[in-house]
Amino acid sequence: MINEKRFIIIVSLSLIILFIFKTILKGENAIVVKLKDVSYVKTDKVYLKDISFIIGDKSIGDIKIINSPSAGQFILVNKNLIANIIKNKTNKNVKIYGNENIKIIRQAFIYSKEILEKLVNNFLKQHAKEIFKDAKWTIIRVITPPRVLLPYDNTDVKITCDNDHITNRIILNISFLKNNNVIKRVNATVFFKIYKKVVVAKNDIKPRQILTSDYLELKEVPIKNFNLRYITDINSIIGKQSTRFIKKGNIITSNMVKIPPTVKRGSLVKVIATDGNIVISTIGKALDSGIINTPIRVMNLNSGKIFIGKIIAPNEVIVTF
């Protein structure tokens, strides 16, 4: 009941004040501008109509007063400054009333942490194949800013990531654009568990061991560095040679295996020597190991001379004079 009486009193006083303004100004053909104490704006420019109540010619409401503050921020604008701007823009009789300073707050569209996380999740689902290839993945944690404040404008969101350096943590770049121009950019850090079917050691593998299926198995395991050269096909390394000791259960990467030498150092090889149309064959001793089409040193067993030959087949070298 008391609140209703207060409301009626406030409305009555407002009508009385309005009547007085109109009565006083009737003969003066003046325009009354009553500044608001606080004004909320959405656009990047502040006009007189945004920050005041205008009695009379409302066309002056289109006078630009100032640029808006950043989204979510505020500025204080002095009444005298507003009066000078109006005076410079029109020759009409304008009476300005209000506090010495008006607080102008730029309203913001808020991207909350929940909205940012949803954007990140949608991006990862849409681009999972190009980011993770055939690996399985699970998000452990997403770190984003607590919120992002943007102007009340039509903004586009663009998310990118560096596909060449995927580990169990990636950083996504989130850009907010207006008319294709970036107005704000933030980062989101995503922590994963990544699982991939890769070749692992079925048993301990000694250095220089020729690999067979007895030493290898395909297993889905968690991986930390997506960029390591994992092997996903057992057949691709059967017959190759280990370059180091590999413990049972360890993941095998491409730098742990190599093609075994076609010719081993110290072995006897057939040497085919050619000089134009003349072809001579003899037996020599390989002083290096190598594979087909690689040069090695070979010693002639009869003369002890050393020469360079190219491996063309298992234990077979050709020398051209």
pLDDT of 192 reads 86
Which band of pLDDT confidence, cut at 50, 70 and 90, is reported for residue 128? Answer: confident
d(CA 64, CA 112): 32
Tell me: pLDDT of 12 over 70: no
What is the rounded average pLDDT of the residues 291-317?
Answer: 91
d(CA 32, CA 53): 8
What is the rounded average pLDDT of the residues 73-86?
Answer: 93
**Tokens representing 179?**
């008319």
pLDDT of 321 reads 75
pLDDT of 34 reads 93
CATH number of the 110-260 domain: 3.90.1210.10
Give the global pTM: 0.57
Q: What Cα–Cα distance (Å) separates residue 188 from each residue in 72, 115, 119, 174, 214?
A: 21, 12, 10, 7, 45
Contacts by 171-177 with C-beta closer than 8 Å and gap 24+? 172/120, 172/123, 174/116, 174/119, 174/120, 174/144, 176/111, 176/148, 176/150
- Record: fold of 2-107: eubacterium ventriosum atcc fold (2.60.480)
CATH of 268-320, one of 3.30.930.10, 1.10.630.10, 2.60.40.1180, 2.30.30.760: 2.30.30.760
d(CA 231, CA 206): 18
Planar angle of CA 66, 69, 73, nearest 5 degrees = 145
What is the rounded average pLDDT of the residues 80-106?
Answer: 92
Contacts of 4 (CB under 8 A, 6+ apart): none
Contact by Cβ (8 Å): 193, 140: yes
pLDDT of 152 reads 81
Percent of the chain clearing pLDDT 90 (strictly above): 57
Mean pLDDT of the chain: 87
d(CA 297, CA 317): 10
pLDDT of 27 reads 44
Identify which of 43, 67, 52, 58 has the alpha carbon closest to the alpha carbon of residue 90: 58
Q: What Cα–Cα distance (Å) separates residue 144 from each residue in 33, 160, 190?
A: 45, 15, 9
Identify which of 60, 145, 150, 157 has the alpha carbon closest to the alpha carbon of residue 106: 150
Contact by Cβ (8 Å): 296, 314: no
Range in 93-107, 161-175, 183-197, 239-253 the model is least confident about = 161-175
Contacts of 271 (CB under 8 A, 6+ apart): 281, 282, 283, 284, 298, 300, 309, 317, 318, 319
The structural domains of the chain, with segments of one domain joined by +, span: 2-107, 110-260, 268-320
Q: Each residue of 102-113: b (16+ CB within 10 Å) or e?
A: bebebebbebee
What is the C-alpha radius of gyration for the chain, rounded to an integer number of angstroms?
41
**Tokens representing 129?**
């194949």
Tell me: pLDDT of 196 over 60: yes
Contact by Cβ (8 Å): 64, 86: no
